Amino acid sequence: MLGTVQNQSVSPVFVGRTRELTRLTSALARAHAGEPQALVIGGEAGVGKTRLVEEFLAAAQDGPATVTAVGACVEIGADGLPFAPVATILRALHRRLGDELVAAAAGSEAELARLLPGLGGTDGPDPLADQRDEHGRARLFELTSRLLERLSEERTLVVALEDLHWADRSTRELLGYLLRSLSRGRLVVLATYRSDDIHRRHPLRPFLAELDRMRSVARLELSRFTRAEVRAQVAGILDSEPSPSLVDRVFGRSDGNPFFVEELACSITQGCRTGLSDSLRDLLLVRVETLPETAQRVARVVAEGGSAVEYRLLEAVAGLGEDELIEALRSAVGAKILLPTDDGDGYRFRHSLVREAVGDDLLPGERSRINRRYARALETDPGLVPADELPARLASYWYHAHEPAKALPAVLAASVEARRRHAYAEQHRLLERALELWDDTPADVREELRPVDYVEVFPPCGCDPGSKPLQYMDLLAETTVAARLSADREGAYEVTKRALRLLERSGSNPLRAAWFWIQRSRLMVAMGRGDGWAEIAEAQELVRGLPPSPVHAEVLESAAGWDMMHDPGPDSIATAERAIELARLVGAEETELHARVTLGILLADAGDADAGIAELEAARERAAAARYGSLTVNTDANLAALLEAVGRSEEAIAVARRGVESATRHGLRDGVTFASANQAESLLALGRWDEAAEVAARGRENTNHALYLGWAATLLAHVAVRRGEYDRAEAEVAAARDHLGPQDHQPQNTLPLRHLTIAVAAGRGRFLEARAAVRAALEAGFPPAFHRYVWPMLHTAAAVEADALGLPGAEAGRAEMLALIRRAAGRLPRLSPVWAAHALFVEAELLRAEGCTGPEPWAAAEEAYAALDRPYPLALVRLRHAEALLALHEPGARDHATALLRRACEVAESLGAVPLRDAVRLLARRGRLALEEPEAAAAPEAAGEQEPFGLTAREREVLRRVAAGYTNRRIAEELFISPKTASVHVSNILAKLGVSGRGEAAALAHRLRLFAGQPG
């Protein structure tokens, strides 16, 4: 009787989930038509995610030409087994498709063997030859995506990844890559996760947020059963209609969770009259404790073995005879506690909640003993588990067995396997575990460890792998790089601090110390905690006088790069050239190419733009050929910046976009933002502001790198200030300052922020504040090679003085300020057309600030910008050119001015440049010019009709200037009328207002708030 009940504890009837199953079936139909589908299914533990997927897969397999494969994330090791579900899926597909999969993987066998070791392959690179290749990770992702696309060309392929809440970070990143990149093929990708396990800091939470932004991914959330659905489920379990009281009891205690419904229904029908314990664990253990003792013993062994345990391994660990083991397994399977694995080679718990409960019920000593037996069994016969899982499982078993002498070598071996798979986050976690074990491991065991067997020792450390044992410092170096490659900068920084403290105490090995100082320098900049120079200087002192080495070349390259960003000059070029020479001498190709990128930028900044661009293009070609993904992206971003600096914006956008695509392929989030920032800068210059803002905003979503976040905020602030959104601009400037930090004063960061400070103050009408900001910038000085940021600042600075001409208090200090601006502009190069146009613009503004109103300077600036694709500065120049023409009072000047203003207004409106648009409209009204905008033309008429004193639109303009204290002559100049006409207007105004003089008129205007502000 008990056996019958147990065998039916899972309802044979699939209850509910009609809507969800329809969604899945619909996705399958679209996949049949060649449109890849992705669905992520969430729900609390026990709510039926696995049952839903099983039902769907069973139905899908009955359809035409459909192949399914399932892989579950494994809760084992330091942070899950890297790529475990993907490897399981590929193994299943290999079994099902055989030679067809081999053919689809042709040419990529060696790379894909990282995930599917049985694939083999002798062509292509040795998968162990590039263990340090962070760029190979992108190739692995791309080849996996391509393999699935090829396999789904002739059939519909359904793959499911279960238990994403246990997924290692590498699996999450590979899944994210697949979901972003798959664009063709008859493919359905399913993934499930426990929503109740996703706490606020769970690593899956940001991944799910990223999926929500993908329109190609559908999310399903499974809810608990209703009472009616619980009744149907219990009826299926009992194979009879349950009584209402039983349904009420089960529904009340389970709260509609399907798995708990099963457990409760089974327990109640077994005669549990007193009810179940309030403890969830006790609820889950109820049926386990009804098993025979040997079956319970086997269940405890399986619980500690991982998500699934191979039969032969279980046989070696359980300590039972074969017949006794089979009988125990039969009992556990019959009770639906355990299930055979899909490949029929092992056993797993039917539900992970039960496995967790059984594992939690183990005594500490019992747990250690079971793990020890697992580890010894694998050491005796490594073939008991798949070869690619052996290192991680041995590391986990020995660690939980609390035997450091065995655990440390196993953990190090597992870290090598993680690195081999490009699973850097998992490698980092394992290396942290190795550091934890180090002091507890006997010295003789540590001395037996050799880097050639476990951790690759960097050439910087000066250790000969063939003769010297693994040193703790080399382990720290490995951990630093693993942390950096996994984007854990804080973790990497802490390890460098620990290493440098130890090296300082020992006073030996300057090469090791120099290497750690360089790592620390880069991390300081990345986290916004400093400019990194003190660390570079320390490294330079350490390598001074030592023989050539890769570390020496890296130190020189870092020094040249720092100079390039902070204080470029002839010495910087010499340093870059020495770095190149030394890197070539010691065979450090990647360091050499980094130095060549630096040299190219320095040459361009020194005035030889063509030579600099050629140097970067050559370096980029070599980097791409050598498959240095990060360096290729970095070179594209710098090349784009260089092209933009000389005004070749369209080319810059194409190069930056190439960099974004490359960074995306390689999974380099910082690279995406870096290249995006340069792309956005060129889009801004070309007047494509909406695109620029979108690219910048999207780029900063992909990184936590302080420098890149600061750049994105700076660009968004530029867009905001040009659109007159000063609150937003100030917020973005504040964000940029926070990200960039006060410690690192790179001109490429400080100059745009100084410019924005001036522009926001000017836009707010705070002239004295704007002038003070200009003075501070001029007194700080402009280092050479940063003219791309200085020219726009000088535009704004000169315009501030010109716009304030005639304002009370603005004349004091004006001559000095104009002289300072002119002197700064005179020191800047003008070798490219865009630089020459900037120079003409600045000079024209300076002349306007000095009261020179002739149109010639503006005509020259307009001609220069018209030859370029720079709509915004061209529109500004046309506004000022039109203003100068109107002041001539010559035949034809008004028509020319009208044409200029119409074109400027068109650009302002298309860009959303509100301040520029308003300035154009104001000038048109003052000059009585038509901009072909009926609404704007009618506005003065309507205002005149509503004026309580009967003032006309022109009289209101005159009154504004009277209230500002203007003389009749000044009013005439402003409104392009004669002084006599201005006098007539003033007389009419005094009469209409009923006042005796200009002072009373001004006072009345202010008292009645007739105007929002002063003219201009």
In this predicted structure, the answer to whether residue 84 has a pLDDT above a threshold of 50 is yes
Q: How far apart, in whole angstroms, are the C-alpha atoms of residue 52 and residue 49?
A: 5
How would you classify the pairing of strands 37-43 and 346-349? Answer: unpaired
Query: With contact defined as beta carbons under 8 Å apart, do 671 and 633 qualify?
Result: yes
Query: With contact defined as beta carbons under 8 Å apart, do 865 and 839 qualify?
Result: no
Q: DSSP assignment of 355-380, as one string?
A: HHHHHHTS-HHHHHHHHHHHHHHHHH
Q: How far apart, in whole angstroms, are the C-alpha atoms of residue 801 and residue 843?
A: 12
C-alpha pair distances (Å), 162 with each of 189, 192, 218, 393, 467: 11, 5, 16, 20, 46
Of 201-210, 702-711, 940-949, the range with the highest mean pLDDT is: 201-210
Of 237-251, 767-781, 935-949, 989-1003, least confident by mean pLDDT is: 935-949
| Secondary structure (H, E, C), 246-276 | HHHHHHHHHCCCHHHHHHHHHHHHCCCCCCC
Task: Look up residue 111 and give its amino acid.
Answer: E
> Which residues in 263-280 are b (16+ Cβ under 10 Å) and which e?
bbbbbbbeeeeeebeeeb
- In the three-class reduction of DSSP (H, G, I as helix; E, B as strand; rest coil), residue 319 is classed as coil
Of 56-70, 594-608, 911-925, least confident by mean pLDDT is: 56-70
C-alpha pair distances (Å), 544 with each of 537, 557, 706, 946: 11, 14, 32, 81
Output the pLDDT for position 936.
42
pLDDT band at 914 (very low <50, low <70, confident <90, very high): very high
In this predicted structure, the answer to whether residue 280 has a pLDDT above a threshold of 70 is no
- Residue 40 exposed, middle or buried by CB count within 10 Å (0-12, 13-18, 19+): buried
Provide the CB-side half-sphere exposure for 76 (13 A, CA). 29
- Strand partners for 70: 160
Q: Which two tokens stand for residue 91?
A: 């193994």
Output the pLDDT for position 938.
46
Mean per-residue pLDDT of the chain: 83
Output the pLDDT for position 913.
93
Q: Which residue has the higher pLDDT, 454 or 158?
A: 158
Q: Which two tokens stand for residue 451?
A: 């880097």
How would you classify the pairing of strands 346-349 and 309-310? Answer: antiparallel
In this predicted structure, the answer to whether residue 3 has a pLDDT above a threshold of 50 is no
Q: DSSP assignment of 985-1014, as one string?
A: HHHHHHHHHT-SSHHHHHHHHHHTT--SS-
- Strand partners for 221: 42
**To the nearest 10°, the Cα dihedral for 718, 719, 720, 722?**
80
pLDDT band at 10 (very low <50, low <70, confident <90, very high): low
**What is the per-residue pLDDT across 537-572, written as a single tens digit (0 to 9) for each?**
999 999 998 899 999 999 999 999 888 877 777 888
pTM of the model: 0.65
In this predicted structure, the answer to whether residue 952 has a pLDDT above a threshold of 90 is no
Output the pLDDT for position 996.
77
- The mean per-residue pLDDT over the stretch 43-70 comes to 82
Q: Which two tokens stand for residue 672?
A: 């995406």
pLDDT band at 865 (very low <50, low <70, confident <90, very high): very high
- In the three-class reduction of DSSP (H, G, I as helix; E, B as strand; rest coil), residue 48 is classed as coil
pLDDT band at 942 (very low <50, low <70, confident <90, very high): very low
C-alpha pair distances (Å), 453 with each of 117, 395, 441, 697: 20, 15, 18, 45
Q: DSSP assignment of 422-474, as one string?
A: T-HHHHHHHHHHHHHHHTTS-HHHHHH--TTTSSPPPGGGT--TTTSPPPHHH
- In the three-class reduction of DSSP (H, G, I as helix; E, B as strand; rest coil), residue 43 is classed as strand
Nearest to 354 by CA among 311, 307, 313: 307
In this predicted structure, the answer to whether residue 288 has a pLDDT above a threshold of 80 is yes
Task: Look up residue 581 and give its amino acid.
Answer: E
- Strand partners for 220: 41
In this predicted structure, the answer to whether residue 470 has a pLDDT above a threshold of 60 is no
Output the pLDDT for position 325.
93
Q: How far apart, in whole angstroms, are the C-alpha atoms of residue 872 and residue 795?
A: 12
Nearest to 720 by CA among 746, 696, 686: 696
Backbone angles phi, psi at 570, to 5 degrees: -55, -40
- In the three-class reduction of DSSP (H, G, I as helix; E, B as strand; rest coil), residue 962 is classed as helix
Q: In what order do the strands lie in the sheet with 37-43?
A: 66-72, 156-162, 187-194, 37-43, 217-221
